[in-house]
């Protein structure tokens, strides 16, 4: 039996039209009848998208992403697919002489914006699994355990369906918006395909907006160079992709859903919701309020490591592309400046992860990373720069980025810890004995 003095629960029930009677009590028959009717209606609609997996109807989420894209992306500009493939082939040729990593064996692909959603969707499902788990926990706390309470058993599935509907709307909207912006499979800096794959999105490349004085073929070539270089790095560095994804997942593991925000969202936005379309609309309004603003100490540490690693990847790509374009393309400097502006204006990576898992990612140190790689190349050659990727212990740390010349001279130097100091002291004492 619902407690009429539980304000959060009463607000939750009110948005489904369930109110205390004249005696101040809730009629359990009214609650059960209303909830069963709503559950039946929503279940029938969701069944059309396929089964729920891991607490979320992912096909419903995917459909929202495609609908968001259709509503926001505008007309698809045309681009010569052959020209794009030629640009990838030329990028491979130029990079052969600059980097130590071999070519990707899979043929280069051109994707539509919808292709990007469908091809990367399994990776997003995996990354978002901890968020779905956190949301389920918040719903459990909202409704209560109620192991022997028939009312709690009836309310919990309804609350879960409403809340996951909000999350589905948030994820679908974010992915649909991203599909209208990203220019390649790897632009976000995360490995979103099962294996390294060079793929460009002609529609978004054509709409890149580098300026009227820069030929479209130069824009295409530079974006192809960046994508090919990045994918070659992922292909040759077995630990890099898994570590990036693991850091994002570990960050998401510590996500907490604000119960009061969840209650307010359900109360304020879901009154009268009876269809999936209405649920999407309501979810669009409230989904961004579900995350606690506070970041745990563990998340701060993960965030720093993730920012540094993404900066190292993009800084390495910056240095590689600069070396191959500077002697060949008069527009190289202008294109590099366009890219820096794109990063500075809350680019796709930061926007995507903030919308999807509340991760406000700002790879602020990309220029420092590029300087560090450049210093290593000047000091010891491009082979030494690339050799650092052989093992995660060899790449620069955040502290190394403060001293590019020091890293170029000595490589990454582990700072001795208390154990190292004790061992040194022991060896020195034995040497004097």
**Does 188 lie in the same domain as 111?**
yes
Is residue 2 one of the residues assigned to a domain? no
Residue that finishes a domain, picked among 357, 381, 412 = 357
Query: Are 243 and 390 contained in the same domain?
Result: no
Domain-embedded: residue 399: yes
- 152 and 237 inside one domain: yes
Q: Which domain holds residue 287?
A: 7-357
d(CA 265, CA 289): 8
Are residues 419 and 271 both part of a single domain? no
| Helix (H) / strand (E) containing 110 | strand 109-110
CA distance 389 to 366: 16
Torsion, CA 185, CA 364, CA 167, CA 76, rounded to 10: -40
Distance of CA 323 to the CA centre of its chain: 29
CA dihedral 76, 79, 80, 84 (to 10 degrees): -110
- Is residue 1 in some structural domain? no
Location of structure tokens 């679908």: 172
| Eight-class DSSP state of 24 | S
Integer Cα distance of 91 and 177 in angstroms? 28
Q: How many whole angstroms separate alpha carbon 350 and alpha carbon 359?
A: 8
**Residue 359: φ, ψ to 5°:** -95, 105
* 121/201 same-domain check: yes
Residue 365 vs residues 92, 339, 340, 405: alpha-carbon distances, Å: 27, 14, 12, 16
Phi-psi region of 55 (alpha: psi -120 to 50; beta: other; left: phi over 0): left
Q: What are phi and psi of 291, to 5 degrees?
A: -95, 140
Q: Each residue's pLDDT tens digit in the chain (433 positions)?
A: 445 555 655 666 665 666 777 777 766 666 666 666 655 555 656 656 666 666 788 888 899 899 989 987 666 666 678 899 999 999 999 999 999 999 999 999 999 999 999 999 999 999 888 888 877 777 666 665 554 466 566 666 666 776 777 778 888 888 998 999 899 999 988 999 999 999 999 989 988 876 778 898 999 999 999 999 999 999 999 999 999 999 989 888 887 776 666 666 666 555 555 555 665 565 555 555 555 556 788 888 998 899 899 999 999 999 999 999 999 999 999 999 888 888 877 666 566 677 777 666 666 789 999 999 999 999 999 999 999 999 999 999 999 999 999 999 988 655 444 544 554 555 455 445 5
Residue 225 lies in a domain: yes
Residues 203 and 246 placed together within one structural domain of the fold: yes
Record the tokens describing residue 333, joined without a space: 């400097």
Question: 427 and 282, same structural domain?
Answer: no
17 and 49 part of one domain: yes
Q: Are 148 and 140 in contact (CB under 8 A)?
A: no
Same domain, 137 and 280: yes
pLDDT of residue 420: 46
Is there a single domain that holds both residue 246 and residue 388? no
Residue 121 lies in a domain: yes
pLDDT score recorded for residue 374: 97
For residue 396, give the nearest of 379, 414, 380 by alpha carbon. 414
Q: Which of 338, 357, 376 is the last residue in one of the domains?
A: 357
In the chain, the number of structural domains is 2
Q: Are 228 and 88 in contact (CB under 8 A)?
A: yes
**Which of 300, 332, 357 is the endpoint of a domain?**
357
Are 321 and 413 within one domain?
Answer: no
pLDDT at 131: 81
| One domain for residues 189 and 333 | yes
Residue 129 lies in a domain: yes
Residue 376 located in a structural domain: yes
Give alpha helix (H) positions in 297-388. Answer: 297-325, 332-344, 348-357, 366-380, 382-387
Residue 195 zone, left/alpha/beta (φ > 0; ψ -120 to 50; rest): beta
């Amino acid at each position: 039996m619902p407690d009429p003095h539980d304000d959060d629960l009463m607000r939750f029930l009110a948005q489904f039209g369930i109110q205390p009677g004249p005696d101040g009590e809730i009629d359990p028959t009214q609650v059960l009848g209303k909830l069963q009717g709503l559950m039946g209606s929503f279940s029938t609609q969701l069944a059309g998208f396929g089964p729920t997996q891991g607490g979320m109807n992912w096909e419903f989420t995917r459909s929202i992403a495609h609908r968001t894209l259709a509503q926001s992306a505008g007309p698809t500009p045309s681009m010569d697919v052959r020209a794009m493939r030629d640009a990838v082939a030329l990028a491979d040729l130029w990079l052969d002489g600059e980097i130590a990593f071999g070519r990707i064996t899979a043929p280069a692909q051109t994707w539509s914006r919808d292709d990007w959603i469908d091809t990367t969707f399994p990776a997003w499902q995996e990354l978002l699994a901890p968020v779905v788990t956190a949301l389920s926990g918040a719903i459990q706390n909202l409704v209560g355990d109620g192991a022997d309470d028939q009312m709690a058993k009836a309310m919990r599935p309804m609350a879960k369906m409403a809340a996951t509907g909000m999350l589905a709307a948030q994820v679908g909207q974010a992915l649909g918006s991203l599909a209208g912006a990203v220019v390649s499979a790897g632009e976000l800096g995360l490995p979103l395909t099962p294996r390294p794959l060079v793929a460009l999105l002609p529609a978004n490349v054509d709409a890149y907006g580098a300026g009227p004085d820069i030929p479209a073929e130069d824009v295409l070539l530079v974006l192809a160079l960046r994508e090919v270089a990045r994918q070659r790095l992922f292909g040759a560095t077995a630990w890099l992709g898994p570590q990036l994804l693991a850091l994002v997942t570990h960050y998401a593991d510590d996500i907490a859903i604000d119960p009061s925000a969840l209650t307010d969202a359900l109360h304020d936005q879901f009154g009268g919701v009876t269809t999936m379309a209405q649920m999407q609309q309501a979810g669009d309004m409230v989904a961004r309020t579900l995350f606690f603003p506070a970041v745990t100490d563990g998340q701060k540490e993960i965030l720093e490591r993730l920012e540094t690693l993404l900066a190292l990847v993009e800084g390495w790509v910056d240095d590689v592309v600069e070396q191959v374009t500077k002697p060949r393309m008069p527009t190289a400097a202008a294109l590099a400046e366009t890219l820096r502006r794109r990063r500075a204006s809350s680019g796709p990576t930061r926007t995507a992860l903030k919308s999807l898992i509340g991760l406000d990612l700002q790879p602020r140190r990309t220029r420092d990373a590029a300087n560090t790689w450049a210093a290593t190349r000047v000091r010891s050659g491009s082979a030494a720069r690339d050799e650092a990727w052989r093992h995660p212990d060899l790449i620069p740390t955040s502290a190394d980025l403060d001293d590019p010349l020091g890293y170029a001279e000595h490589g990454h130097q582990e700072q001795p810890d208390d154990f190292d100091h004790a061992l040194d002291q022991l060896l020195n004492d034995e040497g004097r004995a």
